[in-house]
Amino acid sequence: MERVPFSLEEIEVLRNAIDISEELIGDRYRISTSDWKRYRYDIQSLCQLAVDEVTDFAFAQILRYTRHPDEKPLASRHGDYFKICLQDHVILNVLRRDPKIRLLPLAAYIVAHELIHVIRFATFVQRYDAALREREEEERRVHALTYELLKDRKIEGLKEVLAAFSDCRAMETFLTRS
């Protein structure tokens, strides 16, 4: 699979999708601006990723670091840090194959879905290293939560994205680094 990163315009659309998702999730989970700092995560796209953070088999890869990569080894721990690695080329491939699917609603769906995972891991609602069956149940749950979060939003093309992706397909892969 050719690994084409988002263009500058597509990065702008992605930023918009991240804003929409963070705002909806902030409302839904009652996270204030200062509370957001407790959730240690970054959302990065393909050109920011290291080779081993790239996958061709999912829209995203979530890396959990038990320590932030910039944190000094002896600094006090602040809890897990999550790096949400978006796989531009996998996302663009879907857009190329299905003209009904648009980037803004698809990116909003993916980002909201991944953020819900991160919040559930960070607040220990869900264990990161759960067994396969529990992970599959969690995936269904997170799809349902993402659907609920987005379904009434007025985003052009959202209906098509919800119809195509709010089933039980696996959206991401998970890795742990210490």
Q: How far is the CB of 162 from Zn ion (least distance, A)?
A: 15
Nearer to Zn ion, 88 or 114 (CB): 114
SS3 letters across the chain: CCCCCCCHHHHHHHHHHHHHHHHHHHHHCCCCCCHHHHCCEEEECHHHCCHHHCCCCCCEEEEEECCCCCCCCCCCCCCCEEEEEECHHHHHHHHHHCCCCCHHHHHHHHHHHHHHHHHHHHCCCCCCCCCHHHHHHHHHHHHHHHHHHHCCCCCCCHHHHHHHHCCCCCCEEEEEEC
Q: Cβ of residue 40: shortest distance to Zn ion, in angstroms?
A: 19
Q: How far is the CB of 59 from Zn ion (least distance, A)?
A: 9
Residue nearest to Zn ion according to CB distances in the complex: 171
Query: For binding to Zn ion (CB under 5 A), which residues are involved?
Result: 139, 142, 171
The least CB distance from residue 135 to Zn ion, in Å, is 9
Q: Please, which residue, 70 or 90, has the CB nearer to Zn ion?
A: 90
Nearer to Zn ion, 46 or 116 (CB): 116
